[in-house]
Amino acid sequence: MNRLSRKTKLLYGVAGIGDSALYSLMGNFALFFFTTVAGIDPAVAGAIVAIGAVWDVVSGSFVGYISDKTKSSMGRRKPFLLAATFPLAVCCSLIFIVIDASQAVRYAYYIFMFIAFWTGYSVFFVPYTAWGAELTDNYEERTELRGIVYIFYSIGSAFGTALPPIIVDLLMQWGARVETGWLSVGIFVGVVSAAAIFITGWMVHDPEHMAAADHEDDAEHSASGGKGRFKGLSAAADILRNYGQVLRFKPARLIVLTSVFYLISNSIMMADRMYFFTYNMELTAKEVSLIMLVMQVVSVLLVPPLIRINRVLDKRTLCIGGIGMSVACLTIYGFIGVSSVPHLLLLFFIYGIGSICYWQLIPSMLYDVCDADKLANGTDRAGLIISMQGLSESVFEAVGFQILGILLHLTGFQTDAARQSLETMQCIHVSFTFIPAFFALLALLMMIRYPITRTKHAEIIKNLQQK
């Protein structure tokens, strides 16, 4: 396979802005918005966020299955990116509206909007991630491609984490209500994200060998009279059968379990940190935004060294080292406490190394798993494998949000209070340090057992080419 051009890599990476901005906004602020602005009990708010994430499991499974079987003049993955843009922009905006209605109506509204949002996100995310596996099969180039995505991902994360408090605070200074500020955030992030996804979907083109393969598949599809067309229950059964096969495949099972445990850790920390900033450290909106922005800048600066290190060490080794540093850092600060902004920045710097290793390397490693699965089973099902990994992430992210919501509820979190009780703040501290450290440790143990190294992947590609 020919190497990708720099232009293709950059254009593919642009959609990372949309991915990260949407994901960061929901992960950092949805629970906080529901509890402190919309006035919803933390346990109920956690359940609402969890329901949306679990629905992502269902929609992502079908999207992966359908995109694997899609044949069009634009390729397998591109149509899904283009179709997702407008719904994502609309749903992201409507989630951050405060509904003046009974509790039952408000709950129903936010559940519906979360389901609609995660459906749109699945339609984009699964084909987008699977597309990367098809653009290149080169071990190092996949890491480079994901590194470029991560740079754009950091830009999107700034839109989804650093800018929201600034926008809300600025609009309130101009006389707007807090509800107007959060609606403006939803509109801004939704529009920017949709535009980024559209750019990638419109401007990235499949390599010639992929287009040729699609045409061959189209001919076979026509000759067979359209057999294998998507049909409700039979497709669901086929998806479950394929999932069972993939989970029996050791590399896939271990990469999925790594994601499961890391995402529980990450979702609890992401959702909790706004509570930690607001109540435990009593930071202003500007201070929170500045800290978030510094985190994203540091993340971008760390990507090039990571890519260079990957040319010497394989992805598995880097992931073990990065996640291990996160576990150690969170545990230490769990015991000594985070007493100042410099301590907070140091925690995020060390934790961020593990985070970069996860977000940049795990998708690239998942591409390697797709190759190994194709060799072992003779079937190209990258979309399905990506969706299964996304399924696991969504289910256990939901677990993370629900854990935090229940803990806040049990420790007496007050939705309209400027200060919280000592018990609640202790809960916030533990949820910011010890609990994420525990689940990150489980992720680390799974990664230690992961078998695909650079040498092993080279053998896989060689065997695939000889088939």
Q: Is residue 1 part of a domain?
A: no
pLDDT higher than threshold 80 for residue 394: no
How many whole angstroms separate alpha carbon 71 and alpha carbon 235?
17
Structure tokens at 212: 């040729």
Q: Are 362 and 255 in contact (CB under 8 A)?
A: yes
- pLDDT tens readout for residues 144-179: 888 888 889 888 988 988 889 889 989 999 999 999
So what's the pLDDT on residue 391? 67
Q: Which are the contacts of 94, defined by CB distance < 8 A and separation ≥ 6?
A: 113, 186
Q: Is residue 226 part of a domain?
A: no
Q: Please give the model's pTM, rounded to 2 decimal places.
A: 0.70
- pLDDT tens readout for residues 61-72: 788 778 878 787
So what's the pLDDT on residue 111? 93
Q: Is residue 227 part of a domain?
A: no
So what's the pLDDT on residue 221? 43
C-alpha angle 359-365-367 in degrees, rounded to nearest 5 = 110
Give me the mean pLDDT over the 18-34 stretch. 89
pLDDT higher than threshold 70 for residue 211: no
Q: Is residue 267 part of a domain?
A: yes
So what's the pLDDT on residue 219? 45
Residue 199: count other Cβ atoms within 10 Å of its Cβ: 17
Q: Is residue 154 part of a domain?
A: yes
So what's the pLDDT on residue 231? 55
- pLDDT tens readout for residues 368-389: 888 888 888 877 777 777 777 7
Q: Is residue 224 part of a domain?
A: no
Domain coverage including residue 323: 8-215+232-466
HEC letters along 283-329: CCHHHHHHHHHHHHHHHHHHHHHHHHHHCCCCHHHHHHHHHHHHHHH
- pLDDT tens readout for residues 271-302: 898 889 989 999 887 888 788 778 777 777 87
Q: Is residue 97 part of a domain?
A: yes
So what's the pLDDT on residue 227? 45
In which band, very low, low, confident or very high, does the pLDDT at 426 lie, cut at 50, 70 and 90? very high
Q: Is residue 2 part of a domain?
A: no
Percentages helix, strand, coil for the chain (3-state, rounded to 5) are: 85, 0, 15
Tallying the residues shown for the chain, one arrives at 467
So what's the pLDDT on residue 233? 62
2 or 331: which leads in pLDDT: 331
Q: Residue 65 sits in a domain of what CATH number?
A: 1.20.1250.20
**pLDDT > 70: percent of the chain:** 91
Question: Could you please report the per-residue DSSP string of 204-250?
Answer: ----HHHHHHHHHHHHHHHHTTSTT---HHHHHHHHHHHHHHHHTSH
User: What's the number of domains the chain is made of?
Assistant: 1
In which band, very low, low, confident or very high, does the pLDDT at 270 lie, cut at 50, 70 and 90? confident
So what's the pLDDT on residue 214? 53
Q: Is 56 helix (H, G, I), strand (E, B) or coil?
A: helix
- pLDDT tens readout for residues 309-346: 877 888 899 999 999 999 999 999 999 999 888 999 89
pLDDT higher than threshold 60 for residue 409: yes
Which of 212, 52, 30 has its CA nearest to residue 116? Answer: 52
